[in-house]
Every structure is written in structure tokens, then in C-alpha cells.
């Protein structure tokens, strides 16, 4: 079983909240459905500081814990992703969505992973990750449980099947 995490491609487009205070919103999703979604206004960074164009991406980058999709990616992946979370609209100069992963699986193999803990025993950082395949099963996209205080935010984990599907659909990023 191959598991992947989201990662930035050097030079690719980014998407950022227009207001710096809105970054916190993306750290507080915690794998829960958003019943009262108040989306922040976003800006897609298409150019580097020197004015050269960034590489186009169907998944503009915000972080390992957040999956942002342009309209094409959202339309093509909706049937695959919807069982594992919800699509939330984000206002920008073109249609983009946040895919809020609400499938949380306690798949961390704590004995084989290298973990730095808080004094209370909670997970601060996972330095070397080992996941339990039996806990994941056929789940294609998921998060690990997070601390309620938002100190440790889970990356998004994807099975090889979904990564392969993204490539087959011709999506970039």
C-alpha cells in the first residue's frame, strides 16, 4: 500500500487568503463538516515576485493540510472525493473550492513511528510516520486525528489509487 501526502511543486501557483487573519480558519477544520461556512476571500498567486509566471496548477498550493481545487479538478474528482469529505466554495477571481477532508482514521502506528510528544502525551510532531494498513483499508483520502487545540494539524493522506486517477485525468499540480 502506497500512501502519499500533498506537496508543493517548486514554482507552482499558490492560493492565499487576502486577510492574514484568515489563515487560522484552515487550521481549525479538524476533519469536521462545516455547518456554517464563512469563506475567506482568496487570491491566486500566478506570478513570482520578479513578475515571471508561476507554473499552472489545478491544485493551487496552500499547505499539506488543505486541498484547494480549481473548477476543472473539482468537477472531475467530485465523484471520487465526495465520500471522504465536502467541497466548500472559496471566493476568488475564478472558481476554486476547498476539499475539506472529513474522513479521520486513527491509523498511526505509534510503536513504529518516531513521535515527539507534549508533556500531556499528545502528539506534537511525527518525525517518521508509519501507518497501519489494516486501519486504512480501501479509504482513498483521509486525515489522522488532530489535537483539539489546533497545535498539531494533520496532513492529508492519499492512497496510490487516487494519485493515479489524478494523473489519468490529466490534472496538473
Model pLDDT for residues 16-58, shown as the tens digit of each residue: 999 999 988 998 888 999 999 999 999 999 999 999 999 999 9
Give the chain's domain count: 1
Residue 173 counted as domain residue: no
Model pLDDT for residues 129-173, shown as the tens digit of each residue: 999 999 999 999 999 987 665 556 889 999 999 999 999 999 998
- Among 4-18, 92-106, 112-126, 146-160, which stretch is predicted with the lowest mean pLDDT? 146-160
Please report which residue ranges of 29-140 form alpha helices under DSSP H: 71-81, 133-136
DSSP lists the bridge partners of residue 142 as 157
Give the contacts of 123 (CB within 8 A, at least 6 positions apart).
108, 115, 116, 117, 147, 152
Q: Domain residues for 134?
A: 3-168
CA distance 131 to 105: 10
Residue 82 counted as domain residue: yes
User: pTM for the complete prediction?
Assistant: 0.91
Amino acid at each position: 500500500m502506497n500512501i502519499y501526502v500533498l506537496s508543493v511543486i517548486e514554482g507552482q501557483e499558490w492560493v492565499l487568503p487576502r486577510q492574514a487573519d484568515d489563515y487560522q480558519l484552515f487550521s481549525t477544520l479538524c476533519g469536521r463538516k462545516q455547518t456554517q461556512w464563512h469563506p475567506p476571500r482568496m487570491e491566486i498567486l500566478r506570478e513570482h515576485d520578479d513578475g515571471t509566471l508561476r507554473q499552472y496548477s489545478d491544485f493551487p498550493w496552500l499547505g499539506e493540510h488543505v486541498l484547494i481545487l480549481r473548477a476543472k479538478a473539482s468537477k472531475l474528482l467530485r465523484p471520487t472525493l465526495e465520500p471522504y469529505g465536502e467541497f466548500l466554495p472559496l471566493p476568488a477571481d475564478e472558481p476554486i473550492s476547498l476539499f475539506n477532508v472529513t474522513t479521520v482514521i486513527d491509523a498511526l502506528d505509534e510503536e513504529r513511528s518516531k513521535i515527539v510528544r507534549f508533556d500531556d502525551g499528545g502528539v506534537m510532531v511525527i518525525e517518521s510516520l508509519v501507518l497501519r494498513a489494516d486501519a486504512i483499508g480501501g479509504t482513498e483520502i483521509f486525515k489522522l486525528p488532530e489535537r483539539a487545540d489546533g497545535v498539531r494539524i494533520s496532513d492529508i493522506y492519499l492512497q496510490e489509487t487516487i494519485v493515479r486517477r489524478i494523473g489519468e485525468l490529466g490534472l496538473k499540480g
